[in-house]
Copies of this chain bind each other. A is one copy, B any other.
Amino acid sequence: MISVAEAEARVVAALRPTGPETVSIAEAAGRVLVAAAIAKFDQPPAPVSAMDGYAVRAEDVANVPATLRVIGTSPAGHPFTGKVGEGEAVRIFTGGVVPDGADAIAIQEDADAGAHSVVIKSSAKPGRHIRKAALDFAKGSVLAPAGKRLTARDVALLAAGDVASISVRRKPVIAFAATGDELSRPGEARKQGGIVASSGYGLAEMIARWGGTARDLGIFPDTAEAIARIADADADLIVTLGGASVGDHDLVRKALGPKGFVLDFWKVAMRPGKPLIFGKLCDTPLLGLPGNPVSSLVCAMLFLKPAIAAMLGTSANTKPMTAKLLRELPANDQRQDYLRARSEIRGGELYVEPFIVQDSSMLSILAQADVLVLRAPQAAAARTGDCVDILMLE
């Protein structure tokens, strides 16, 4: 058995980023930049007003009230092309370009408008209510670096910088196959004593959220012939659900050995999820997740999420936060534990209460949980109120 950290490191080290593809800015959210996104022009492109009011010369309003002649207007999108001279003002609106000659904005709340003139009642220092050219960003500046996964806010920023399309990593195709004679699909006839294949439906959503393209290969019976067919999937990474426990592991190796499977590691010192296979099928990485749905989904969070991030040329944020325990926990054994738990905020502090029952077959508990509490191997018993590391669930 190897540690969780070593297993993650070996998975990540075995993967290479996918190639680039070009997408429009409207399709860019959640994608990972191959190269830095660069602003195509200054934002704002010229000094603009931050308020509705009058563009003035500060020296003309040093003594107020001051009556100025209104020589034009400068709404957003329609710059005034003349120049503001002594004793003159231009009516201006938020986002309007500040005309030549003016160096301050007198806001309309402090002005009395006449037919062709305005009385300014408060003085304004040079630069008042003016957004300088390039205040937000300058032409040529980096709006988002290579390797950044773009948020909605990044996408808005890139659009503002006139970036119409970008080069991003191709979404890695993650093909997954459930193995097991006991499995049926939801709504199909169930087998005697059998159960319904479930974790793939959750896994597909997680793969999409983490930036991959999920491909459901279906359910495969526990025969070497069937499992060998999984190796034929055209994918960047193949995931098996089940097929990692002792007997299954032998079957998987027997079935996939002739297809070029080389094992990297098997078994990780963790709970849920000890039986985990990682290796390569010729050039295609293969991750064998445990059959228990809780184990498979927790292992996906710990190993498939960083695997997809590595294929996108970035890294997954798996840094734990901390919270205070709402009940005591016994000392831990040699396996790193991921306890399903419920969190709540009390007086601004985050508390967590691990569920009493932690059976790895119980999806109902995983669905009710919103955090996982990490327990290091050999961790001492913890008391109510102690701080523990946690991972937030979706």
Interface, chain A (partner B; CB < 8 A): 25-26, 28-30, 41, 43-46, 48, 50, 52, 75-79, 93-95, 97, 108, 131, 135-137, 143-144, 151-165, 180-183, 185-187, 190-206, 209, 216, 222, 245-247, 291-293, 297, 319, 321-322, 345, 348-350, 359, 361-364, 366-367, 369, 387, 389, 393-394
Contact in complex: B297, A322 (CB < 8 Å): no
Contact in complex: A76, B363 (CB < 8 Å): no
Residues of B within 8 A of A216 (CB): 26
> A26-B204, A95-B291 are contacts. A153–B366 as well, Cβ < 8 Å?
yes
Contact in complex: A136, B361 (CB < 8 Å): yes
A94, A180, A203, A321: most-surrounded residue (chain B CB, <10 A): A94
- What are some 10 contacts across the A-B interface (CB < 8 A)? A30-B205, A45-B194, A95-B182, A97-B193, A136-B359, A136-B361, A152-B297, A156-B198, A157-B366, A159-B198
Distance A154 CA – B152 CA, assembled complex (angstroms): 26
Contact in complex: A322, B293 (CB < 8 Å): no
Q: Which of B151, B183, B394 sits near A77, CB closer than 8 Å?
A: B183
Residues of B within 8 A of A293 (CB): 156, 160
Contact in complex: B131, A361 (CB < 8 Å): yes
> A361-B131, A394-B153 are contacts. A193–B79 as well, Cβ < 8 Å?
yes
Distance A159 CA – B184 CA, assembled complex (angstroms): 10
A182, A206, A222: most-surrounded residue (chain B CB, <10 A): A182
Shortest 6 CB-CB contacts between residues of A and residues of B: A164-B187, A77-B181, A77-B182, A156-B202, A322-B348, A160-B198
Contact in complex: A144, B367 (CB < 8 Å): yes
> A79-B193, A194-B45, A350-B321 are contacts. A245–B52 as well, Cβ < 8 Å?
yes
Instruction: With CB as the reference atom, state the residue of chain B lying closest to A221.
Output: B77
A48, A204, A205, A348: most-surrounded residue (chain B CB, <10 A): A205
Distance A149 CA – B291 CA, assembled complex (angstroms): 26
A108, A135, A157: most-surrounded residue (chain B CB, <10 A): A157
**In angstroms, how far is the closest chain B Cβ from the Cβ of A32?**
15
Residues of B within 8 A of A363 (CB): 43, 136, 153, 156-157, 160
**In angstroms, how far is the closest chain B Cβ from the Cβ of A57?**
20
Contact in complex: B222, A361 (CB < 8 Å): no
Contact in complex: A155, B205 (CB < 8 Å): yes
Distance A186 CA – B46 CA, assembled complex (angstroms): 18
Contact in complex: B136, A394 (CB < 8 Å): no
Q: Which of B144, B186, B367 sits near A164, CB closer than 8 Å?
A: B186
Contact in complex: A77, B187 (CB < 8 Å): no
Residues of B within 8 A of A198 (CB): 156-157, 159-160
> A135-B359, A157-B363 are contacts. A76–B180 as well, Cβ < 8 Å?
yes
Instruction: With CB as the reference atom, state the residue of chain B lying closest to A161.
Output: B196
Contact in complex: B186, A25 (CB < 8 Å): yes
Residues of B within 8 A of A393 (CB): 151, 153
Residues of B within 8 A of A165 (CB): 187
Residues of B within 8 A of A164 (CB): 185-187
Residues of B within 8 A of A159 (CB): 186, 196-198, 200-202
Residues of B within 8 A of A361 (CB): 44, 50, 131, 135-136
Instruction: With CB as the reference atom, state the residue of chain B lying closest to A369.
Output: B153
Residues of B within 8 A of A45 (CB): 190, 193-195
> A44-B361, A349-B322 are contacts. A152–B52 as well, Cβ < 8 Å?
no
Q: A48-B193, A153-B369 are in contact. List 4 more A-B contacts (CB 8 A).
A: A95-B182, A156-B202, A159-B198, A321-B348
**In angstroms, how far is the closest chain B Cβ from the Cβ of A327?**
19
Residues of B within 8 A of A144 (CB): 367
Contact in complex: B155, A202 (CB < 8 Å): yes
